[in-house]
């Protein structure tokens, strides 16, 4: 089951979503394979500091964050990956590394890779390493209001 916070948020906003259970997996690529979701549609959530501020970068599982592009396209002077021990407390109801891309629930800005925004649906971790949530990208965009920028590469 998605985390209580995520489930209540989706239900409160009457968003149609599907949960997808899968075997325990820790990487986005492994999760995509186990759940039979395309690596391009499977969204991974990466915690990044932009000029010292914690943000979420959401991109296809098969892509990587290009920190130079992220800086350039967000106007930041510094962009750095945040280690798990630095962000664990920000997502108390989530398993480490399985946080959903709903930064608005955690007071964080969200940046979505332009390549992911081209998909009709988005699939992401539901707060655990054993379940995903699938919703339309349109619903995700309306709820989260992410900034869509180019910052990912294969």
Domain ranges of the chain: 4-153
d(CA 82, CA 100): 16
- Convert 99-127 into a string of H (helix), E (strand) and C (coil): CCCCHHHCCCEEEEEHHHHCCCEEEEECC
pLDDT confidence of residue 1: 62
Whether the Cβ atoms of residue 75 and residue 131 lie closer than 8 Å to each other: no
**pLDDT, tens only, 95-120:** 988 999 999 999 999 999 999 988 89
**pLDDT, tens only, 2-35:** 788 999 999 999 999 999 988 887 777 787 777 8
Provide mean pLDDT across the span 24-47: 81
Superfamily the domain 4-153 falls into? YbaK/aminoacyl-tRNA synthetase-associated domain (3.90.960.10)
48 secondary structure, DSSP code: E
**Band of the pLDDT at 37, cuts 50, 70, 90?**
confident
| Full strand arrangement of the beta sheet holding 131-136 | 18-21, 131-136, 121-125
């Amino acid at each position: 089951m998605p985390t209580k916070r995520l489930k209540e948020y989706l239900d409160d906003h009457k968003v149609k979503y599907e949960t997808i259970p899968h075997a325990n997996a820790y990487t986005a690529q492994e999760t995509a394979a186990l759940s039979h979701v395309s690596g391009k549609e499977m969204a991974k959530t990466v915690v990044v500091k932009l000029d010292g501020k914690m943000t979420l970068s959401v991109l296809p599982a098969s892509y990587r964050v290009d920190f130079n592009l992220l800086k350039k396209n967000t106007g930041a002077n510094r962009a750095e990956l945040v280690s798990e021990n630095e962000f664990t407390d920000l997502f108390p109801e989530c398993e480490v590394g399985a946080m959903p891309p709903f930064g608005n629930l955690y007071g964080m800005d969200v940046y979505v890779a332009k390549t992911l925004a081209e998909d009709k649906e988005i699939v992401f971790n539901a707060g655990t390493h054993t379940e995903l949530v699938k919703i339309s990208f349109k619903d995700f965009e309306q709820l989260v209001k992410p900034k869509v920028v180019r910052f990912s590469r294969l």
